[in-house]
């Protein structure tokens, strides 16, 4: 597909400097882009490439003041990074809209309800009483268990496994290899030292506009629901345990783990490899640094914690600064001890 600078500017509410008829058909990084490609500049560290890039069109911030002439047509917007992300999203939607129909072979139970403009890839399995909304994309080798509901315009990528009774909202993306609705980790210790499995009778509810990365696991609830609320974005390789609740617009980076029945507030940010114990609450707006271990509830909104066990970020920085100064402090203490001994001898 080919678009002119004028068409692109209309899509991202920008204005063109240079030829509005300049056309592009693909994307490129500003330092590597070729003629016929579109690039963007948001980080000042890359500004030097603006004056040498071969890109035909570059999206830039309104506030950028040019230091040299630029060969490319410019599209000015308030935030180039956000505008470029919006453009990529629209481009992806255009490509996705062309993907419809049912490939063969697939299995679709006779009781399943399939909406309009749905795509179902080869070797997919659609179970009993499944409901697929309009524009849903089920890619090859995906498994959709009985009684699952998937809302309009959601995408289930290759090799995803969705167990029974899962409810997925609109415009949700679940990437390859992820498992939704597997049994929660529940075992009751017995008198003889063995463990009896606790049946996991609940489900998983994923609200609108959620994105879940590849090879993430979201366990079903023991009773009730494991819930991921609207707008949250989950990275690859996460473990979300049974009965966890993740609030609106949460961001969770790769390899983090959230134990059973933990409640994560709205707009929480969790860094990679962080661990959160079960049955605690994380207040709205909290930020948890990478590799932190959170062992008790964070009750104050907008708190930032780090370390294991995690504690206040500012206090942790002060502790680290003191730790770096320990060798010098040791020498000062020894000097004071020596001075004290000399004074005692004189007395």
Query: The tokens of 153 are what?
Result: 């315009």
Query: The tokens of 117 are what?
Result: 């403009």
Mean pLDDT of 213-218: 98
Percent of the chain having pLDDT more than 70?
100
pLDDT at 228: 98
pLDDT at 325: 84
Question: Would you say the pTM of this structure is higher than 0.75?
Answer: yes
Looking at domain 101-315, its CATH class is: mainly beta
Task: Tell me the sheet residues that pair with 26.
Answer: 37
The per-residue pLDDT for range 231-249, each reduced to its tens digit, is: 999 999 999 999 999 999 9
The answer to whether residue 184 scores a pLDDT higher than 80 is yes
The per-residue pLDDT for range 38-48, each reduced to its tens digit, is: 999 999 999 99
Reported confidence tier of residue 95, pLDDT bands at 50, 70, 90: confident
The per-residue pLDDT for range 263-311, each reduced to its tens digit, is: 999 999 999 999 999 999 999 999 999 999 999 999 999 999 999 888 6
pLDDT at 308: 86
Active site residues: 242
Mean pLDDT of 333-338: 90
pLDDT at 17: 97
CB burial string 334-347: b at 16+ within 10 A, e below: eeeeeeeeeeeeee
Asked which of 92-106, 110-124, 179-193, 195-209 is least confident by mean pLDDT, the reply is 92-106
Domain boundaries, the chain: 3-97, 101-315, 316-346
pLDDT at 316: 76
CB atoms within 10 A of CB 225: 19
Superfamily per CATH, domain 3-97: MurE/MurF, N-terminal domain (3.40.1390.10)
């Amino acid at each position: 597909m080919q678009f002119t600078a004028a068409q692109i500017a209309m899509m991202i509410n920008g204005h063109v400097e240079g030829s509005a008829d300049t056309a592009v058909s693909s994307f490129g990084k500003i330092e590597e882009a070729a003629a016929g490609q579109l690039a963007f500049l948001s980080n000042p560290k890359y500004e030097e490439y603006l004056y040498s890039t071969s890109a035909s069109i570059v999206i830039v911030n309104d506030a950028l003041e040019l230091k040299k002439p630029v060969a490319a047509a410019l599209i000015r917007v308030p935030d180039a990074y956000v505008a470029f992300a919006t453009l990529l999203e629209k481009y992806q939607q255009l490509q996705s809209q062309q993907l419809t129909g049912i490939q063969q072979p697939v299995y679709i139970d006779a009781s399943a309800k399939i909406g309009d403009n749905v795509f179902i890839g080869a070797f997919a399995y659609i179970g009993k009483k499944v409901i697929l909304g309009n524009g849903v994309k089920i890619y090859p080798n995906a498994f959709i268990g009985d009684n699952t509901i998937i809302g309009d315009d959601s995408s289930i990528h290759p090799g995803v496994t969705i167990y029974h009774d899962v409810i997925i909202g609109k415009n949700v993306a679940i990437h390859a290899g992820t498992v939704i609705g597997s049994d929660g980790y529940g075992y009751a210790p017995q008198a003889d030292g063995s463990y009896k499995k606790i049946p996991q009778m609940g489900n998983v509810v994923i609200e609108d506009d959620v994105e879940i990365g590849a090879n993430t696991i979201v366990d079903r609830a023991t009773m009730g629901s494991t819930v991921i609320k609207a707008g949250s974005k989950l990275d690859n390789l996460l473990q979300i345990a049974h009965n966890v609740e993740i609030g609106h617009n949460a961001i969770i980076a790769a390899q983090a783990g959230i134990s059973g029945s933990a409640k994560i507030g709205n707009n929480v940010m969790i860094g990679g490899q962080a661990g959160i114990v079960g049955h605690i609450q994380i207040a709205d707006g909290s930020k948890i640094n990478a590799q932190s271990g959170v062992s008790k509830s964070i009750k104050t909104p907008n708190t930032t914690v780090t370390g294991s066990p995690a504690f206040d970020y500012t206090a942790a920085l002060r502790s680290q600064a003191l730790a770096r100064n320990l060798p010098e402090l040791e020498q000062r203490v020894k000097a004071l001890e020596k001075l004290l001994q000399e004074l005692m001898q004189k007395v």
